[in-house]
């Protein structure tokens, strides 16, 4: 997982480690030294264990941009800023991530739930090759670009989440409900939903 400098700093200060040496923390997060799927698997299993046994696993999926300042940060590119004004396109330098969160109902507020992260995946757009690139390089880029669309990556994430639920005997029989916005209601997702 590609975590930026500000994200790691935020994690360290949130856990109260602001007054100690941070170099070991940064080494953990560099070069994919830990498996984020295993980390989120623990969170997912603990969250689902708090749900009633007859309740489906309700999740929410969306993509988000994490703003970056460095031009050499892996997986960053120019994206349209969704928070910009409607009358013009603003662009931001950012990394694109896909997140699936599980709903954990709040006992003291009927109908309300807290979203607990189940999965976070870096979904960068592949860099465009040079205009002088050969046709075979351009064809390979088009294929990679099509497989990197956020709706395709969303369908893969839903399939992987269902597979993770099926692999655990405690959650194999639970139904999975995924709430998404309009960018995921297309044939790339609908035709590839797990059965």
**pLDDT tens profile 32-56:** 667 778 888 899 999 999 998 889 9
Answer yes or no: is 55 within a domain: yes
Answer yes or no: is 22 within a domain: yes
Instruction: Answer yes or no: do 80 and 15 share one domain.
Output: no
Instruction: Answer yes or no: do 79 and 67 share one domain.
Output: yes
Instruction: Answer yes or no: do 71 and 6 share one domain.
Output: no
Instruction: Answer yes or no: do 166 and 76 share one domain.
Output: yes
Instruction: Answer yes or no: do 5 and 73 share one domain.
Output: no
Instruction: Answer yes or no: do 177 and 111 share one domain.
Output: yes
Segment 102-105 long-range contacts (CB within 8 Å, at least 24 positions apart): 102/44, 102/47, 102/48, 102/57, 102/58, 102/59, 102/60, 103/58, 103/59, 103/60, 104/47, 104/50, 104/51, 105/51
Instruction: Answer yes or no: do 21 and 86 share one domain.
Output: no
Total-model pTM: 0.81
The string of pLDDT tens digits covering residues 4-29 is 556 677 777 878 877 888 788 777 77
Burial of 152 (0-12, 13-18, 19+ CB in 10 A): middle
Instruction: Answer yes or no: do 129 and 158 share one domain.
Output: yes
Query: Looking at the 3D structure of the chain, how many domains does it have?
Result: 2
Instruction: Answer yes or no: do 94 and 146 share one domain.
Output: yes
Answer yes or no: is 134 within a domain: yes
pLDDT score at 3: 55
Answer yes or no: is 195 within a domain: no
Answer yes or no: is 121 within a domain: yes
Answer yes or no: is 48 within a domain: yes
Instruction: Answer yes or no: do 13 and 109 share one domain.
Output: no
User: Residues 93-100: what's their mean pLDDT?
Assistant: 92
Instruction: Answer yes or no: do 29 and 115 share one domain.
Output: no
- Domain span holding position 19: 1-34
Q: What percent of the chain has pLDDT over 70?
A: 93
Instruction: Answer yes or no: do 67 and 103 share one domain.
Output: yes
């Amino acid at each position: 997982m590609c975590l930026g400098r500000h994200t790691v700093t935020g994690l360290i200060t949130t856990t109260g480690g602001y007054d100690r040496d941070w170099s070991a923390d940064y080494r953990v997060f560099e070069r994919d030294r830990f498996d984020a799927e295993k980390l989120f698997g623990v969170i997912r299993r603990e969250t689902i264990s708090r749900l009633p046994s007859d309740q489906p696993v309700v999740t929410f999926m969306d993509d988000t941009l994490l703003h970056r300042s460095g031009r050499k940060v892996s997986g960053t590119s120019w994206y349209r800023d969704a928070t910009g004004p409607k009358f013009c396109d603003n662009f931001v330098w950012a990394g694109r991530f896909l997140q699936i969160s599980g709903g954990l109902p709040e006992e003291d507020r009927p109908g309300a739930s807290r979203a607990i992260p189940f999965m976070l995946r870096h979904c960068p757009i592949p860099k465009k090759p040079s205009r002088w690139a050969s046709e075979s390089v351009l064809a390979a880029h088009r294929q990679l670009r099509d497989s990197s669309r956020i709706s395709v990556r969303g369908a893969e994430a839903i399939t992987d989440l269902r597979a993770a639920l099926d692999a655990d005997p405690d959650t194999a029989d639970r139904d999975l409900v995924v709430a998404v916005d309009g960018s995921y209601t297309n044939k790339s997702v609908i035709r590839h939903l797990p059965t």
